[in-house]
Each structure stands twice: as structure tokens, then as C-alpha cells.
Amino acid sequence: MQKLIKFFRKNIFVLAILLLSVPSFYRALQFGIHSMQDFHLFRLYEFDKCVKVLQIPCRWAPDAGLGYGEPLFNFYGQLPYAFGELLHLTGISFIDSLKILFVLSLAGSGISMFFLARRLWKNDWAAVIASMMYIYAPYRAVDVWVRGALPEALSFVIFPLIILAIEKRNLLGFGLLTSALILSHNLSALMFLPVMAIWIFYRRFWKAIPAGTLAIGVSAFYILPVIFESKFINLASTTQEYFDFRAHFLTLKQIFLNFFWGYGGSTWGDGDGLNLSVGLVQWALPVAVLVLTVWQKKLKENKIFSVLLALGIFYLFLTHNKSTFIWESLPFMAFIQFPWRFLGVAVFCLALASGFIANLISRKLIPIVLPVIILILLALNFSFFREDIWYRVDDSYFTTGAEWDRQRTASIGDFWPDFGHEIPDKPSDGKYINYFPGWIGAEPDENGLIPAEGTTLTDTPVRRIGNIISLVCTLLFLFLLLR
């Protein structure tokens, strides 16, 4: 009994975060699954098929493209589905595996932020505030309960851990976590890169550069095909028309004073059907901390707060149309598609900066002021963490019938092989599939189709080189870890 009491006392703040995170996900604990704008259950189902036929790394989704097949996993981050598959292999349904990952994205991000904030601010209360600000940002609710953006949601767990690895000068941790971020959501890795670079420079942690290079090596099985085989799909369609970044900038009101909540999509102009704000408390508290810091003349004492606040403002600037010149100067940013995606990194920076308030008020006031801040935060944002529609169904609902066809059609143009076959309007009869480099056993016809029977998917030279580099770098990581 004494050991149990000692455990609770030692971990009281971590347990408090777990308890306080429950309102963000408790509705996911019921039977079924919530409506979402993305199709991760379908992708997890396809990834499971890869594993069962030992197609590792996974490249091809046989049911995508209305049954004609698409090289989905050749270009889409695989790590979230690998975690989901591990859960599924223990007997957990696809639906529950997916929900567990969403729950972990919320609770796990709170825990990872706690340990980072405690390391920076040397204060448990500061860490709790930073964690709650991180979990209960409106954009976090949008990612999980509206968009269902699983890879991006899981990236929130990794962001604090990467910076914590830099703080601890943990080479292996930094390398593995950087690789995990790349393999989870490459766009999040791209957006978070400036934070990583600035932190490495600020801490003079130059050994992180070779560790980061090794992380890229671990991810080579994925990165090399993305670079060299994207020419075989119509990748340009992902940056045009609806996906043109110019259509999705936010107004100042949307960023700072948006109290609307909806389950629609991002549209041209400011008529978006979902909340795309950074959160009222998420920006007001750092501003209050800045005022207190200047008033108490402590701004020079903690440069980390200033860096975080400046980064947060910069990332918010990237969501506004005044930053168009930056987007147009860096062509690769077009693939981010939606400027409001930078809200995620902005939330990270501002939430972490907010924790500094615990170092600016007296110890007597902390147990009063900080719980009040948390209550205000929950009061403003708690209602966002809920579903639009709840489907009381099992896996079969998504793997049969009309819903199955809807999922097979979703985002069909994103990874459609560019070999002559026009995007169909009805499912394949199973006789022919799309050709893509790597299929052997038959030559593609004039429409870019090959027989479904008698053909085998193999690795192209690019994939083979990527696989070898990843294997060698992974073995090197394991060797260093064991040492």
C-alpha cells in the first residue's frame, strides 16, 4: 500500500494530465466510430492486406482506385498504420485500433508536452498548463473529431519528444523520433523543421545533424520513392484548383477570434465550415506572459520564451495571405496545400511558451491562478471534442456495400498511376489492374492496364536502394542503442 501511495505522490501531475485529458476523448470509448473527413480505416484495412501477403514495406493498395489498385503507400506515411496493424494483430478490430490511435494522439501529446515543459521551466505546474493548452486547442479537436487526420494528430505526440531529445542531447532519441515524424506525416516534418533547426542552433547541439542524416537514412525506403517515383502519378492535381494554397488563407478574425464550430470543409475565402483558430486562451495567455515578463524585467532571463513566442507568431503569419510572398518563393510549400496546417506548430510553440507563467507568479497564487486558467480553457473548448455523427457499426460496415465503394473512390486522383487509364466511374470487375513500375509478368496495354492474374509486384531499383539504406541505418541505430 505504501508503494502505491508513493507512486501516486511521485506521479501526481502526470496522472492529473491523464485525468484532465479524458474529456477530449471519452466519447470515443463507446461502440462504433465517429464520422470523419478522411479514410484511415480503409488505409488500415489495405495495410493489413500488405502485411498478410508479406509485402513489406507496403507499397500497393489493391482495393484503392475502385479496385484497379493504386501505389498508395509508396507515397503516404506508413507508421500510423503500422501501429494500427500491431493493435489489429492482437485481435482488436480495425475500428477500435483506429480509435486507440486517436486517443493516444490526445493523451500522449499531453504527456510528451508535460515532460518537455517540465524540463524547460523546472516547474510541474508550468508543465500542466502547457499540456492542457496543447491538448485543448480548437485545432486539435478539428484534427481528431472533424477531419480525422490521423497522421497529423499523431505528430503532436512526436513534436515535444524531438525537442526533449535535443534538450537531453540524446542522439539516438533525436534520430529515431525524427524518422518517426517523417514516416508518420512528412508535411508535419517539413513544417516542424524550422523549430528543430533553431533549437539545435540555440543549444549548439551539432551532433544532431549526423543523427538527423541517419534518421533520413532510416526513412529512405519511403523518401526515395516519393522523390523519384512521384513522376508516375498525377501529383500536380494535389496543388491545383481546390488544393491551391491561395484559396485557404485565414483572416485575422479566423485566427484569433473564431468561436464558430462546424463539421464542414475549408473553402475559398473566409466561409470555412470548420473552426480554424489558434484558440483564444492559446494566444491570450502567452501575450499576458509577455506583459508580465516585460513588467518584471525578466525577458532577458529566459530567451526560450521569446524564441517560442516569436516562432508561434511566425507560424500564425504563414496562415495569413500577407505571407503569400513566402509561399510563392518556396515552391515546395504548395504541397502543404492548406496554410492553416501551420496552426499545429503554432499551437505547439504557444502552448509551450504559456507554461512560463508558473515562473512569474508567486507560489501562493499558483494553486489558485493556474486551475482557473485550466477551467477557462476547458469551458471554452471542451464542447469541440465531440463527433458530428456517431456510427454504431462494426468493421463490416466499412468493408462492404456502398460505404466500401465510397472509400475506394475517395481521393482517387491523388495516387492514380499516370499511364493512360482514365479515372473510372465504376468499380473494376477484377480482371485488370493499373500498371505501375514494379509489376512484372505482363506488359501494360495502351490504357496502362495489366491482367490481375499472373502478375507480381516487385521492387524497382529506387525502392530496392531505399530498402537497403533503411535496413543498414536501422541496424546501425540498433547497434548504437545496444551499446
Please count the CA atoms within 13 angstroms of the CA of 329 that sit on its side-chain side. Answer: 5
Burial of 284 (0-12, 13-18, 19+ CB in 10 A): middle
Domain ranges of the chain: 2-391
Is the link from the previous residue into 138 a cis peptide, with omega within 30 of 0?
no
- Tell me the three cell numbers of residue 6: 508513493
SS3 349: helix
Q: What is d(CA 128, CA 114) in angstroms, rounded to the nearest whole number?
A: 6
Residue 409 CB partners (closer than 8 Å, separation 6+) = 66
DSSP string, 198-258: HHHHHHT-TTHHHHHHHHHHHTHHHHHHHHHSGGGBTGGGGGSGGG-GGG-PBPHHHHHS-
Q: Which grid cell sits at 462?
A: 529506387
User: Phi and psi (nearest 5°) for 390?
Assistant: -110, 125
pLDDT in tens, the chain (483 residues): 777 677 777 789 999 999 999 999 999 999 999 999 999 999 999 999 999 999 999 999 999 999 999 999 999 999 999 999 999 999 999 999 999 999 999 999 999 999 999 999 999 999 999 999 999 999 999 999 999 999 999 999 999 999 999 999 999 999 999 999 999 999 999 999 999 999 999 999 999 999 999 999 999 999 999 999 999 998 777 788 888 999 999 999 999 999 899 999 988 878 889 999 999 999 999 999 999 998 988 777 788 999 999 999 999 999 999 999 999 999 999 999 999 999 999 999 999 999 999 999 988 888 899 999 999 999 999 999 999 999 999 999 999 988 998 999 888 888 999 998 888 888 888 899 999 999 999 999 988 999 999 899 999 999 999 999 999 999 998 888 887
CA 27, 31, 37, 38 torsion-angle sign: positive
Residue 373 C-alpha cell reads as 486558467
Q: From the CB of residue 253, how many other CB atoms can be counted at a distance below 10 Å? A: 10
Indicate the SS3 state at residue 391.
strand
The cell for 163 is: 525537442
Dihedral sign computed on CA atoms, order 63, 69, 72, 78: positive
Residue holding cell 512560463?
356
Q: Which is nearest to 139 in space by CA: 317, 301, 278? A: 278
Label the pairing between strands 432-434 and 456-457: unpaired
pTM for the model: 0.95
